[in-house]
Amino acid sequence: MLQIYDRVLASGSVPTLVVLGGLALGLYAFYGLLDGVRSRILVRVEQYVDAQYSGLTYKISTMAPVLIGTKAQNLRPVQDLDAVRQFLSGQGPAIDVAG
């Protein structure tokens, strides 16, 4: 990028600079579109996980004290499911490894 800017600015070629600027804006717009699609997909995955496991989590949280006894105080299935849901709907699954 620095070589391109150096050569464009040194030569004074405004049309080349405009094309490069337009290309950069187009790429940022495409990135924004992909990020929006990724976000919507992750929200749907989060909703699916919640729908599938919320009933089971509630059942476990109510039955654990009966089955396990006092050790059930250390179990927090509802909070664990909530943490998984927040991870799935947040930036967690899509962390940029290269950046």
Q: Say if residue 15's pLDDT is above 50.
A: yes
The whole-number pLDDT of residue 97 equals 47
- Domain tally, the chain: 1
Sign of the Cα torsion 72, 75, 81, 86 reads positive
On the question of pLDDT at 32 being above 80, the answer is yes
Distance (Å, rounded) from C-alpha 64 to C-alpha 69?
7
Find all residues with CB under 8 Å of 58, minimum gap 6, and list them: 78
pLDDT tens digits, residue range 41-67? 888 888 888 889 888 888 888 877 777
Instruction: Give domain status of residue 80, yes or no.
Output: yes
For residue 38, report the phi and psi dihedrals to the nearest 5 degrees.
Answer: -60, -40
Phi-psi group of 13: left, alpha or beta (phi > 0 → left; psi -120 to 50 → alpha; rest → beta): beta
Average pLDDT, the chain: 80
Range of the domain at 79: 2-93
Q: Is residue 99 part of a domain?
A: no
Is the pTM here over 0.85, yes or no?
Answer: no
